[in-house]
Structure 1
Amino acid sequence: MEKIVVIDGLRSPIAKAYGKLNNIQAEELGSIIAKELVLRSGIDYKEFDEVIIGNVAQPTHAANIARVIAIKAGFPISTPAYTVHRNCASGMQSISSAIEKIHSKQGELYLVGGVESMSNIPLLHTQAFKNILTEISNTKSIKEKLKILTKLKLQDLKPVIGLISGLTDPISGKIMGKTAENLANEFKIDRQTQDLYALNSHLKAQKAIENKIFEEEIHPIISKNGSIFEDDGVRLNQTLEALGKLRTIFDANGTVTAGNSSQVSDGASMLIICSESKAKELNLEPLGYIKDYAYAGLEPDKMGLGPLYATHKLFNRSKITLKDIDLIELNEAFASQVLANLEAFKSIEFANKHFEGKVLGEINNEILNVNGGAIALGHPVGMSGTRIVLHLLKELKRRNLKTGLATLCVGGGQGASFLLEV
């Protein structure tokens, strides 16, 4: 099969939800980044076979958001587009969907990406309130409408927060933070260890910003709330003392806090990928290559271990080991989740129980999330998969290294792992 080439990528700054990108809907944010990336690439819009975008919230006003983004970004009406959804791996799913099309000879050049405006995930009505509204709409008499209204109770008006329902696993019934508490308990990861990991994420991200590491991959966004040029979730000069003052939010006796969890955020990230022969035909310089990828399923209430399961599958198929990996981006949904993976990767006991004794090995912290992760930068759920692929390729090239692993956990009990090379 032909090599899969990543030509280039671009992303927006990641903004804290309800902040600087609050007034920009997901399709608008995605179209800004998509248009800028295509223009920078110099590739004619007509060369693209399709646009594939990952998104979790699926805005009702922009059905099939990928098509809306494509048209707004300047693609011709004749260019098809579709949206994919695999929770936190939606951005990665856009990539693998395009790869499958390239390998099956359905196309050669694709714009892929992920976008999420968590600020604009709507509030929902309760079922009781919806039933009353339906009754009223089906009744013509004002007297009957008023009579129906008398059935309304104050509790019926309590909104259902779409963001919370979207981050709650429908199988286990647990919000994602509870699954993080599960892993903290199973692997005996205490609060201070989690806070220390979170602190290091902020410090690494702060250093990266100071050294202008992210500038190459970020396109500024201008909005009514003011211009945003860099990720605004990084807490400058963060301290353990400040993190230690935060209350636990998912379990009164737990260890997971807002400070050692990923942030709720807005953002978009896009990539141009194609077959190697298409890159040569258009004389395009590759940013890097996607060598292989794997998705895996696991218990929903331990979804945070998804990177472990997906990486086992990927390494078995690709015949490689951790020793072959130069850099790793492991999405930081929660500090306890990352730390649990670090323990499980090297655990003989866990390998004996789940992987026929095959141990992946110990991850070197020096190559893990070298510029911080989602705890500091934020986690716009549909965008994060493409963000870590883009950043990992850029960082491999910057450091003159060769092979990287991009991996994340997925709400609902899945994992995704991508093997990258420059």
Structure 2
Amino acid sequence: MARPVFIVDGSRTPFLKARSGPGPFTPVDLAVQCGRPLLARQPFAPSAFDQVILGCVNVIADEMNPARVAALRLGMGEKMVAFTVQINCGSGMQSIDTGYRYIREGVSDLILAGGAEALSHAPLVWPQQGVRWFAGLAGAKGIGAKVMAALKVKPGYFKPIIGLERGLTDPITDLNMGQTAEVVGHLFGITRAQSDAYAAESHRRLANAQSQGWLKGEVETAFARDGTFYDHDDGVRPDSTPESLAKLKPVFERPWGKVTAGNSSQITDGASWVILASEEAVARHGLTPKAVILDSQWSALDPGIMGLGPVLSATELLKRNKLTLSDIESWELNEAFATQVLGCLAAWNDEKFCNEILGLDGAAGELDQTKLNVDGGAISLGHPVGCSGNRIVLHLVNAMKRLGTRRGIATECIGGGQGGAMLIETV
């Protein structure tokens, strides 16, 4: 029989907006910054874990398999098995899902599952023509051949490509993620005014959560090597209004597009961990579970409309567990783009879409936005790709405990045309 899997604790770093260059932390630095205080407050040794699983997309050359590097730096011992998972925007949730399945099936009892991403450390990539020129120069034999090879150089060979820009472009459709959000917005008639209003509300909610102190138990202060410390998510703009956001120009589809820098998620660095435990581990270590994972689902669709991934994955969860949208009291739907989030809500309320795509008898209904991303989301927080799926699960649990709600879903769209969702119940 499947065993219950509990979320007993978790923490994350502040989300730090990428600015003019590499930020103060690498992915492993971030994982260690929030991992140390998390492990220090547990009633068991760091070596008591069975495995460490970390989501990371932008793995840097000095930190191959960042899960293992982080585990060693966290003092978890040389015998600690640790591996990194990657499913683009869902990587942080994939780490939880993988751990959930190991524990549910009796393979493990205690797992540290996380996500870490430092998008500010995304590499500059050399143009392929430049790479071929260097290869030809290196392979030339003799002075004459090397001179002839060198003379073939062109200025464009030395112009680097931003790796992040290519990474956020789908290789099948050749659309970047912002363009896919434009497609979703067009399909469901999402207006620019709606997107800007949603984005402004995201900033208002995060600013309110910060001022109320609701994130203090979740966000750990991060200390850089130079002594600078970071204690809050710094991408929030409390002064954002629909009117101020309306002044921004479209980024991806000029001049008529709806997606701008103001109603999109921010390029950000951050890390997050959750501790997963079986009933046996809870009893052995005297732990107090916060929530239990009831189910999870991964779905796939056309990469050109990847933003609708949450509709497919969350709906499958609801159907399998005989639930409706209104049965879910708390939602975390990753805010890749305001237009994309609103497109998901519109899809659930569209009878034709629900009938033809989701296999429902009618429209799923209207999702109450007072239950959705109650403390803001990636538009105000930022979207460190490999981390976000972990953060939304962690914050869903914490918000549900604060609000006294019982059942929630965390879900995200995934670049490449996928979606992930997890059904959580508080304990």
TM-score interval w.r.t. the shorter chain? over 0.9
Q: Hey, what's the Cα distance between the residues in 2 that align with 1:351 and 1:225? A: 53
Structure 1 unpaired stretches of 5+: none
Q: Hey, what's the Cα distance between the residues in 2 that align with 1:250 and 1:354? A: 27
How big is the shift at 1:35?
Answer: 2.3
> What amino acid is the match of 2:70?
I
% identical equivalent positions:
40
Which position in structure 2 is the counterpart of 1:297?
300
Structure 2 unpaired stretches of 5+: none
1:308 aligns with 2:325: no
Residues 140-289 of structure 1: pairs in structure 2 closer than 5 A: 141-223=142-224, 224=226, 226-252=228-254, 253-289=256-292
Residues 411-422 of structure 1: pairs in structure 2 closer than 5 A: 411-422=415-426
Q: Hey, what's the Cα distance between the residues in 2 that align with 1:6 and 1:88? A: 21
> What amino acid is the match of 1:360?
A
How big is the shift at 1:20?
Answer: 9.7
Render the CA deviation track for 1:4-40: whole Å, top value 9, x for unaligned: 1011000000010137970311111112222221112
Which position in structure 2 is the counterpart of 1:365?
369
Q: Hey, what's the Cα distance between the residues in 2 that align with 1:61 and 1:133? A: 23
Q: Hey, what's the Cα distance between the residues in 1 that align with 2:59 and 2:142? A: 36
Secondary structure at 2:245 match in 1: helix
Secondary structure at 1:382 match in 2: helix
How big is the shift at 1:158?
Answer: 1.8
Is contact 2:43–2:285 with CA below 8 Å preserved after alignment?
no
Render the CA deviation track for 1:111-144: whole Å, top value 9, x for unaligned: 0000000000100001111112222333464543
Q: Hey, what's the Cα distance between the residues in 1 that align with 2:25 and 2:227? A: 9
Q: Hey, what's the Cα distance between the residues in 2 that align with 1:352 and 1:421? A: 28
Is contact 1:205–1:376 with CA below 8 Å preserved after alignment?
yes
Q: Hey, what's the Cα distance between the residues in 1 that align with 2:106 and 2:331? A: 31
1:91 aligns with 2:95: no
> What amino acid is the match of 1:321?
T
Q: Hey, what's the Cα distance between the residues in 1 that align with 2:350 and 2:227? A: 48
- Cα pair distance change 1:241/1:28, threshold 3 Å: same
Give the number of aligned pairs. Answer: 422
How big is the shift at 1:361?
Answer: 2.0
Is contact 1:21–1:225 with CA below 8 Å preserved after alignment?
no
1:404 aligns with 2:408: yes
Aligned-pair RMSD on alpha carbons? 1.5
Q: Hey, what's the Cα distance between the residues in 1 that align with 2:97 and 2:406? A: 21
Which position in structure 2 is the counterpart of 1:37?
38
Render the CA deviation track for 1:292-346: whole Å, top value 9, x for unaligned: 1101001100000011000111112222222221111111000000000111112
Residues 315-326 of structure 1: pairs in structure 2 closer than 5 A: 315-326=318-329
Q: Hey, what's the Cα distance between the residues in 2 that align with 1:236 and 1:245? A: 17
Moved more, 302-311 or 278-287: 278-287
How big is the shift at 1:146?
Answer: 3.4
Is contact 1:20–1:225 with CA below 8 Å preserved after alignment?
no
Q: Hey, what's the Cα distance between the residues in 2 that align with 1:374 and 1:20? A: 21
Is contact 1:32–1:73 with CA below 8 Å preserved after alignment?
no
How big is the shift at 1:42?
Answer: 2.8
How big is the shift at 1:43?
Answer: 2.1
Q: Hey, what's the Cα distance between the residues in 2 that align with 1:104 and 1:90? A: 21
Which position in structure 2 is the counterpart of 1:62?
63
